[in-house]
Amino acid sequence: MIVDPLVVCWPSKAEILYFHDLTIQRHGGLPGFQEGGEARLESTLIRPRNLLLYKDDATFPDLAATLIYGVAKNYCFNDGNKRVSAIAGGIFLEANGIVWRPHCPALTLRHVNHLDVIGNMVL
């Protein structure tokens, strides 16, 4: 599927922070950013956009993978980076019309607080 840069729905920093706060409340951990984490989050959110600009054949899964990897590996937050990375990828795909469900039985949506089809977290 060709990705039209003009119609892509990107997750905002505020949305990522919202889901991070919910996962910390629900599953525990230290809230907030690591030192320099807020800037790393902003950089992470730009990475998929850059990929789309420089890779003509980028797909939505490519963009989601870039987002997921960036959130997980940039350690923006004190805790919950991997949880938030899975949520960020899921809401990105679903906001762009791709229903995301993991195929691996070990990774189920209950591990990320049950995303519904519009990307809202159901507690």
Query: Would you state the structure tokens that stand for residue 54, as one six-digit string?
Result: 């420089």
Whole-model pTM?
0.78
For residue 121, tell me if it sits in a domain: no
Question: Residue 55 above 80 pLDDT?
Answer: yes
Average pLDDT (51-58) is 89
Averaged pLDDT score across all residues of the chain: 81
* Chain length of the chain: 123
For residue 87, tell me if it sits in a domain: yes
Average pLDDT (35-51) is 92
For residue 117, tell me if it sits in a domain: no
Contacts 24+ apart (CB under 8 A), 55-61: 57/2, 58/3, 59/1, 59/3, 60/1, 60/3, 60/92, 60/93, 60/96, 60/98, 61/93, 61/98
b/e sequence 5-36, b meaning 16+ C-beta within 10 Å:
eeeeeebeeebbbebbebbbeeeebeeebbee
The CATH number of whichever domain residue 53 belongs to comes to 1.20.120.1870
| pLDDT at residue 2, rounded to an integer | 74
| pLDDT at residue 56, rounded to an integer | 83
| pLDDT at residue 113, rounded to an integer | 43
For residue 8, tell me if it sits in a domain: no
| Number of structural domains found in the chain | 1
Question: Residue 101 above 70 pLDDT?
Answer: no
| pLDDT at residue 122, rounded to an integer | 39
| Domain span holding position 63 | 13-112
| pLDDT at residue 120, rounded to an integer | 44
Average pLDDT (98-104) is 70
Query: Would you state the structure tokens that stand for residue 114, as one six-digit string?
Result: 């049950």
| pLDDT at residue 13, rounded to an integer | 93
Q: Whole-angstrom Cα distance, residue 64 to residue 33?
A: 22
For residue 3, tell me if it sits in a domain: no
- How much of the chain exceeds pLDDT 90, in percent? 41
